[in-house]
Amino acid sequence: MDSNIFVCLMGIGTVFFGLICLIVLTSLMGLVFGKRQNAAPAVPVASPVSAELNRQELIAAVSAAIAEDLGTDISGIRILSIKEL
DSSP states of 14-57: HHHHHHHHHHHHHHHHHHHHTT--PPPPPPPPPPHHHHHHHHHH
More confident residue, 36 or 34: 34
1-5, 9-13, 71-75 — which one is most confidently predicted on average? 9-13
Q: Is the pLDDT of residue 44 over 90?
A: no
Average pLDDT of the residues of the chain: 83
CA angle 10, 16, 17 (to 5 degrees): 85
The pLDDT value given to residue 45: 63
How much is the pLDDT for 55?
82
The conformation of residue 72, written as its DSSP 8-state character, comes to S
pLDDT band at 85 (very low <50, low <70, confident <90, very high): confident
Look at residue 28 in the predicted model and tell me its pLDDT. 93
d(CA 6, CA 26): 30
